[in-house]
Amino acid sequence: MATVLAGCVTTGAPPKSPYHANNDDDIKTASDQTNADRLYNTRMELAQAYLGRNQPADALDQVKQALGAKPDMPAAYGLRGLIYAALGDSEKADESFHRAMQLAPHDADLMHNYGWYECQQRRFDDADAQFKRAIAEPNYRGAPRTMLVEGVCQARAGKMQDAERTLSRAYELDPANPTIAYNLSEVLYREAQFDRARFYIRRINNRQELASAQSLWLAARIEHKLGQGEQVKAMGAQLRERFAESPEALLFEKGKFDD
C-alpha cells in the first residue's frame, strides 16, 4: 500500500527550558542552561538533521554525544531507536526503544514510533498494541496520526476490516488530512467498495494542489472497476499532463489496472 507518510515522528526536540535560576521566582531563560544542556540540545538537533538527510551513521554519532552530555534522556534513546532502525540493526533499535519507554512510560510519541517500527518488522500484533496504548494516553493530540499508521499497519497484516474501521475513525477526527483519505480509499478499493473509495479519493483529486500521481492512479483504477471509461480517460489525461514520467503514468499507458 502506498502510504504517503513518514510513519515516525520526531521526539528528540530539545526541552523547552526546564531550567531555573537560583531565585525560584525568576523567569527561566537560555542563560540558565548548563553546558551539558546546551551540548545535549545542539547534538540532538544535529542528529535529527542528519537522520532527516538519510545520514544515519552521522546521526548516531551525534546522539551518542548527546547521551554523553545528558545520560538517561528518553528523547535521545527514542531517536537512537529510529537511527538504529534506519541502519538495519533491529537488536539495538529494540533495546533503544525499550530504554526510552522505561524512562518515559507515558510518552505517546515514543509508543507511536516504536509501533511503526514493529509494523515494519512485521510484528503486527505488538505494533497494534503500541498504537492503542498511544491513543489511550490522556491529552494525546496525535491520535489521528497514530490511527493513520495503525490502519496502514492493519492493512499490511491483511486485516482489512480493522484497517477500514481505524482509518474511518482517523478521518472523522481529521477530515482535511489527504493522507488519511488516500489510505482509506485504498483500503475500500481493496475491499471492492468502489463507490465509497471514489468518494474519498475525489476529496483529494478535486484539489489540484493535493492530487498526486498515486491519487490519480488510484482514482483511475476505481473508475475502471466501476466501468466509467470517460472518467478513466480523464484521470489518464491528468497523469500524462502532470506526472508523465511517473510509474503510475506508465502503468496507465500499459492498461495494468489490476497490478
Judge whether residue 22 has pLDDT over 90.
no
| Residue tagged 551518542 (cell numbers) | 64
CA distance 42 to 103: 21
Judge whether residue 19 has pLDDT over 90.
no
- pLDDT, residue 34, reads 82
Specify whether the CB–CB gap between 40 and 17 falls below 8 A. no
Q: Which residues contact 189 (CB under 8 A, 6 or more apart)?
A: 197, 218, 221, 222, 225
Specify whether the CB–CB gap between 28 and 19 falls below 8 A. yes
- pLDDT, residue 259, reads 73
- pLDDT per residue as tens digits for the range 187-245: 999 999 999 999 999 999 999 999 999 999 999 999 999 999 999 999 999 999 999 99
Q: Which residues of 95-131 are buried (b: 16+ CB within 10 A; e: fewer)?
A: ebbebbbebbeebbbbbbbbbbbbbbeebbeebbebb
Judge whether residue 17 has pLDDT over 50.
no
Sign of the torsion formed by the C-alpha atoms of 166, 171, 177 and 182: positive
Phi-psi region of 139 (alpha: psi -120 to 50; beta: other; left: phi over 0): left
- pLDDT per residue as tens digits for the range 157-174: 999 999 999 999 999 999
